[in-house]
Amino acid sequence: MEDRTPVAPPHPADDVTEHVGYRLKRAAAALRGAMDKALREHGLTVPQYACLELLDERPGLSNAELARSTFVTRQSMNVVLRGLQEADLISRPATTDHGRALPAHLTERGSERLHAARSAVYAIERTMVDALPQRRLAALLADLDRMAEALGG
C-alpha cells in the first residue's frame, strides 16, 4: 500500500504555480517559443542555432561536445549536424585520422546565417533582461547557476 502522508512543499506555496520548478519551466517554455518563432524566419531550429553559436566561439567541437553543451543526446546532435551540413552551414571531414570525433566548423554561409539570426535571438534576451531591474541581473544569473549546480548540472 502506498504511503499517502502529505508531503510538505519545499517553500510556502498556495499551488503548483508558485513552485520554483514551475516558474523556471514557464520561463523556459516562453523563451523556447519566442526563439522557435524568431529562428524559423532564418531557417534554423533552436538546437541548430545553439550549434552555430558554439562553433563560432569554439571551432572544431565534436558531436559529443556539442551535444553536452546544447543539452541534447548525441543521437539528436547527429541529426542536427547532418541538417546543418546539408544546408552548407557547417563542414565536417568524412573521416578523421585519430578517434571517431569529427570536428565541425562554420562555413562562410553558416557564419552569415548565424550573424543574421543572432540579432533576433539577442532581441529576445534583451526583452527578458529589460523586464528586470538591471541591478538584479548578476544575482539572478548566479542564483540560476547555483540551482543547476545543486542538482548536479
| Per-residue pLDDT at 79 exceeds 70 | yes
What's the pLDDT at 3? 83
Rounded CA separation 140/131 (Å) = 12
| Per-residue pLDDT at 52 exceeds 90 | yes
Q: Which CATH number fits domain 19-150: 1.10.10.10, 1.10.287.110, 3.20.20.10, 2.40.50.140?
A: 1.10.10.10
What cell was used for 33? 517559443
Rounded CA separation 23/61 (Å) = 33
| φ, ψ dihedrals at 130, nearest 5° | -65, -20
Q: How many CB atoms lie within 10 A of CB 20?
A: 12
The stretches of 3-73 forming alpha helices (DSSP H) are 20-40, 46-57, 63-70
Residue with the three cell numbers 532581441:
123
Give the pLDDT band (50/70/90) at residue 113: very high
| Per-residue pLDDT at 35 exceeds 90 | yes
More confident residue, 44 or 95: 44
SS3 call for 3: coil
Whole-prediction pTM value? 0.86
Structural domain boundaries in the chain: 19-150
